[in-house]
Structure 1
Amino acid sequence: MNQATLELVRASLRGAVDVEVSPTGLTPLRLPARARAQSDSDWMRIASEQASGVRLEFRTAATWLELTVETTGLYLPWVPEHVRWAVFSSTVDGDPVADARVTGGSELHLAEPGGPRFVKGESAVARFELGGTGLGERRVVVWLPQTDTVEVRDVRADAPLAPAEQLDQLRWWHHGSSISHCIEAETPRGVWPVAAAGQIALDVTNLGFAANAHLDPFTARAMRDSGADLFSLKIGINIVGGDTMKRRTFVPAVHGFLDTIREGAPTAPILVISPILCPMHEDTPGPTVTDPETGERRGTPSTTPDFFEPPLTLRSVREILRDIVQTRSMEDPALYYLDGLDLFGADDIAELPDGLHPSPAGYLRIADRFAGSPVVSSWIGAAEGSKE
C-alpha cells in the first residue's frame, strides 16, 4: 500500500477504534491496540479485529470502486462451506448497491484438537458497480464484513476518491456480545446496531464482541476516551454462558464499568440493556457447552449451586441490572434501562435457530424495536438536548 492510499483509507475509516498498519495494508481494530496486551484470549483478539460496523466513507463521482483486501475468517467445523464468504456491502447516498462476496482468504482454525491453526489465503478484490454516470460526486460507503478481519491493501475507482465529510450525527458507542457482533447476519448492514443506527441517524461504533462481553476494564476505558455523545451496554449473556461471575463480582463490575465511562463522559446518556431471550439460560446457569462437530449448544451447570452464592441466570441478571440503574439514576438522570425482552422475547422464539443467536431476520427485528423504543427516544433526546 502506497502512502497516499494509506492516508486515504485511514481518513475514510469510520467505526474503528484503532488501526494496525503493515507494509501490505491497513487493518481496522475495534479496540485500542494496547488493549490486546491486557487479554490473553485468542477469542477476544479475533472478535475485536473482526470488522462489525466498520466502514469506509468516500466522496466520489466514480461509477465503480474496487477494494483489494486480505480477509481472515474464523473456521468452525459446523459452518457450511458455502457460507464462509466475506460479504462487503455498499451504499450510494444511502441507497444499497449489490453486495460483493469474496472467498479464498486466510482461515483461523480454533475449535480443533491440537490447538489453533492458521491457514494462509490469498488477497481478493471486492468490486462495486456504483452507476450514476454524469451525476457528480456522491457519498459512497463500503461496509466491511462483520465475520472477518480485513486488511485493506488498495482502493481503486474510475474517478478521484476523497474522504467523505463527517455527517452531523450523534456519535453512538455500543458494547455487547455476539448478539451485537451479529456474525450470523447476512450482510454487514444486517448487524442490528448498524441497521438501527441507519434508522435513527446515529454514527455508530460497534464494540459487540462475540463471546467477549465480560465488563473488561479496557473496553470501558476505550468508551470513556471516545468522546461519544451516547453509550449503550448490552450485557449478561456471556457472563452467564461462561459462568465467569457470581452476583458478588457482577454487581461491582457493572458499577465499575459505568464509573469508568463517567470519568470521561460525566453527563452523556448511557443506556443499559439486559439480555434478550435465551431459553437455555433463563433459569439455568452456565457454562454453555458447544458440541465441537455440530455447533449445538446447551446450558450445563458445572457444579451444584452454592446456596450462599448462587450462580447467575438471565432472569437474575435482568433484575440486577434494573436495580442498579434504578439506584444510580437517582443521582445520574442520564442513565437509562431497556429490558432485552422488549427487543426479542418469547414471541420471537422461531427466530432463534440455535437457541442463542437470532437469525438474520431476528437481528433486523431487534433493530426495528430498538429504533422505535420510547426508552431509546428519551435516551437520544437527552443527548440532543445537551448539544443545544
Structure 2
Amino acid sequence: MITTPLTDALVRGAAELEDTGRGLRAHRLPAWVRTRFPDPQLLAAQSQPSGVRVVMATGARTVELDLHPTRVSYRGTSRPRGSVDLVVDGDLFGSTQVDGGDHVEIDLATGTPEFHAGTAGTIRFDGLPAGDKVVEIWLPHNEGLEIVALRTDAPVRPVAADKRIWLHHGSSISHGSNATSPTRTWPAVAARLGDVELHNLGFGGSALADQFVARVIRDRPADLISVKLGINVVNLDVMRLRAFVPAVHGFLDTIRDGHPTTPLVLMSPIFCGTHEDTPGPGAMHTDAQGTVTFSATGPHGPAPQLTLRIIRDALKSLAERRADDPNLHHLDGTRLYGEQDALTHPLPDALHPDTATHGLIGERFARYAFEAGGPFAAGSAP
C-alpha cells in the first residue's frame, strides 16, 4: 500500500489543515476566528468536517484511511457514530461508520465534560472499479477528527477543481444534524443535484449573524452563496428584533464587500412547530431509552422575544428593502419544509430532520436554485 501525505491540493471544503502531531485536523473556520472567539460550541462545530472531503484521481481498487475521531455525547443519550462515505465518479460507492477515538461525555445536569481517551481506527474500502477514476472520501459531518494516514494500492494525484463553488452558511440543520452520513445532509444532496462544489459553513448552534463568519464568506472564493438564518437566534434567545434586523443587514453588507454581484440567497427557517410561536431558549430532554427531544421554554403568546414566524416576516421585509441588489434572492424556508411536511416527515427530535427529510429538503432546494430560472442556474453567476 502507498501512503500519500495529505495536502491542501487533495482536501476540499476546509479553510485550513492543522497538524496536531498525530494527524491533520480540517478546520472550517480559519485560525484568526478561532483565536478571537474561542466559543466551545462554535469550536466544536467548525472542527466537525461537514462537507469536507479528500478528492483524488487514482486507479486504486483499495483505499484505507486511519482516523482519530473525537465524538461528543450527552450522558444518558443515544447518539449514532459518524460515517465516512466513498464516492466514485460522482456515485456513492460505500459508507462505513467510524470507530474508536476520543469521547467527550457531557453531564446535562451540570454541563461538566468528562474526557475518555481512545485510539485511532482504520476505514477500508475494497473492490473499487478498475481503471482511472475520481474518488472522493467524505469525512464524518458530526464528529471532530484527525486524519492520521491515507493509503491506496495505486498512486493518487490531485484533481483540478472545475465546478462552481457554492458557499453555504446555516445552523445545525445545514451542518447535517440527524443525517446518517455526510453525503446525505441536505446541502450535500443539493450540491450533487446542482453539480457544484460545496463549501459548507453550517455550524450547529452557531448561525447567529456573526460578523466574523460574514468576513470569512467575504474573503472566500465563491460563485454562489446562500445564508440560512433564524433558528439559532430563536432557540438561544440571543436577540430581539431591533438587534436582529441590523445584524443581518451588516452580515449581507460584509459579504457584498467581497462578492458585490455574486448570486446570494437569503433563507429563512424551515418549519419547526416547537418554535413557530414559542420563543426560546430551547431545552433538551432525554427519556429512559436515551432518546433526545427539544422544546421551547419561552412564553407562549405576545412577547418581546423572537419566534420563527417573526423571523420569517423580518427576513422577507429586509430582502424587499434591499431591492437595489438584483442578485439577492429571498427564500422562505417553509418552501423546503413546511407545516404539511411535518405531518408526513415529522422531525424526530422536534428540531432536526431525519435522513429522508434531509433528502427532501436538498431536492427542493436544488429545484428552486439550480433549475432554469433559479438564482443558481447555470450562467447565473456574473
TM-score scaled by length of structure 1: 0.91
1:101 and 1:375 map into 2 onto residues whose CA distance is 31
Aligned with residue 316 of structure 2, among 322, 342, 347: 322
> Aligned AA for 1:17?
A
Cross-structure match for 2:99: 103
Cross-structure match for 2:355: 360
Give the superposition deviation at 1:95: 1.9
Deviations 1:14-69 (A, max 9, x none): 01112211222211011112111232421111001001111000110000100111
Q: Does 1:224 align with 2:218?
A: yes
Give the superposition deviation at 1:305: 6.2
> Aligned AA for 2:116?
V
2:82 and 2:275 map into 1 onto residues whose CA distance is 31
> Aligned AA for 2:113?
P
Q: Which runs of 5+ in 2 are unaligned?
A: none
> Aligned AA for 1:233?
V
The correspondence of residues 215-364 of structure 1 with structure 2, limited to 5 A, is 215-291=209-285, 295-301=292-298, 310-328=304-322, 330-349=323-342, 350-364=345-359
Q: Does 1:94 align with 2:90?
A: yes
Cα distance, 1:63–1:364 mapped onto 2, change above 3 Å: same
Give the superposition deviation at 1:111: 3.9
Identity %: 39
Deviates further, 68-77 or 367-376: 367-376
Cross-structure match for 1:384: 379
Deviations 1:191-228 (A, max 9, x none): 11011000011111111111110111111111000021
Give the superposition deviation at 1:311: 1.2
Given that 1:9 and 1:56 are in contact with CA atoms closer than 8 Å, whether structure 2 keeps it comes out as: no
Cross-structure match for 1:25: 23
Deviations 1:281-316 (A, max 9, x none): 11111111112665332111179965xxx2111001
* SS of alignment partner, residue 286 of structure 1: coil
> Aligned AA for 1:67?
L
Cross-structure match for 2:35: 37
Q: Which runs of 5+ in 1 are unaligned?
A: none
1:174 and 1:114 map into 2 onto residues whose CA distance is 30
1:304 and 1:244 map into 2 onto residues whose CA distance is 19
Cα distance, 1:316–1:140 mapped onto 2, change above 3 Å: same
1:375 and 1:60 map into 2 onto residues whose CA distance is 30
TM-score scaled by length of structure 2: 0.93
Given that 2:75 and 2:106 are in contact with CA atoms closer than 8 Å, whether structure 1 keeps it comes out as: no
Give the superposition deviation at 1:352: 0.9
Given that 1:177 and 1:237 are in contact with CA atoms closer than 8 Å, whether structure 2 keeps it comes out as: yes
Between Structure 1 and Structure 2, which shows a larger proportion of helix residues? 1
Cα distance, 1:303–1:42 mapped onto 2, change above 3 Å: farther
1:304 and 1:280 map into 2 onto residues whose CA distance is 13
1:258 and 1:127 map into 2 onto residues whose CA distance is 43
Cα distance, 1:78–1:191 mapped onto 2, change above 3 Å: farther
Cα distance, 1:385–1:273 mapped onto 2, change above 3 Å: closer
Q: Does 1:154 align with 2:149?
A: yes
CA RMSD in angstroms, aligned pairs only? 2.0
1:221 and 1:46 map into 2 onto residues whose CA distance is 20
Deviations 1:334-364 (A, max 9, x none): 1000110000011211331111111111110
Give the superposition deviation at 1:375: 8.2
Cross-structure match for 2:203: 209
Cα distance, 1:198–1:303 mapped onto 2, change above 3 Å: closer
